[in-house]
Amino acid sequence: MRISELSTQTGMTVPTIKYYLREGLLPEGERSSPTQATYGDKHVERLRVIRALLDAGVSIAETRRVLTALDEPPEHSYDLLGTAHAAITPPLDVALDLNEAERIVSALGWKPGTCDLAVLNEVARAVEGLERAGFVVPDAVMREYLASMRRIADAEIAGVPTESPEAAVRYVVLGSVLVEPLLLALRRVAQQVSSWERFGSEG
């Protein structure tokens, strides 16, 4: 199909599609003449993924890295998550102290070598943000965070499809990124329901 049909089918404007082409997010179509290219179903599919990532707040640069991870699956299954996470994790900040982060995540079953430094670094960054604001997570709440995240991860990893590397990569990469807004929104709903149950009768 031509770019105009691609636009009709996806609901995205031609300038937007051309922008994604220029940014290297969408692969070029097949040249049918010096000024025209034809596009296929894989372009429709790719545009959907691009839109979902950008709508989820993923930057253009991160989206490019996620798409590269989708196109070039790593050799080993256990590298999948590292690749997905690397695509959406800011670069290492060597100034951060990882000791406190290591202490916290040891409750997740973490041991040296079982996760990327970049992800551990994200924990350290989050902990530092809380400390800087003078916010202390009560021990009982932190224990629930750790236990819940471990259960969630176990369920997610048990659900990784094994029929093809492509399906596994897609599940892991998109599941990591796109599920984040859902989890945060569910937490807020649960907080309101729980708060209503505890304090609602005071109203």
Question: Site residues for a second copy, window 159-188 (CB under 8 A)?
Answer: 159-160, 170-171, 174-176, 178-188
**Short-list 14, 38, 11, CA closest to 27:** 38
Beta-carbon contacts of residue 168 (< 8 Å; ≥ 6 apart): 73, 77, 80, 160, 161, 162
70 lies in the binding site for a second copy (CB under 8 A): no
**Binding window for a second copy (CB under 8 A); candidates: 1-9, 13-21, 30-38, 53-61:** 53-61
95 lies in the binding site for a second copy (CB under 8 A): no
146 lies in the binding site for a second copy (CB under 8 A): yes
Least separation, in Å, of the C-beta of 73 and a second copy?
Answer: 13
Beta-carbon contacts of residue 197 (< 8 Å; ≥ 6 apart): none
62 lies in the binding site for a second copy (CB under 8 A): no
User: Cα Rg for the chain, rounded, in angstroms?
Assistant: 21
Q: Note whether 154 and 62 are within 8 A (CB).
A: no
Q: Which of 18, 31, 42, 48 binds a second copy (CB under 8 A)?
A: 48
What is the C-alpha separation between 29 and 43, in angstroms, rounded?
A: 8
Q: Note whether 92 and 124 are within 8 A (CB).
A: no
Q: Which of 34, 78, 94, 112 binds a second copy (CB under 8 A)?
A: 78
- Closest CB to a second copy among residues 14, 142: 142
Least separation, in Å, of the C-beta of 46 and a second copy?
Answer: 11
- Closest CB to a second copy among residues 24, 161: 161
Q: How many of the chain's residues bind a second copy (CB under 8 A)?
A: 89
Q: What angle do CA 180, 125, 69 make, to 5 degrees?
A: 50
97 lies in the binding site for a second copy (CB under 8 A): no
- Closest CB to a second copy among residues 34, 78: 78
What is the C-alpha separation between 10 and 1, in angstroms, rounded?
A: 12
**Binding window for a second copy (CB under 8 A); candidates: 1-9, 19-27, 31-39, 107-115:** 107-115
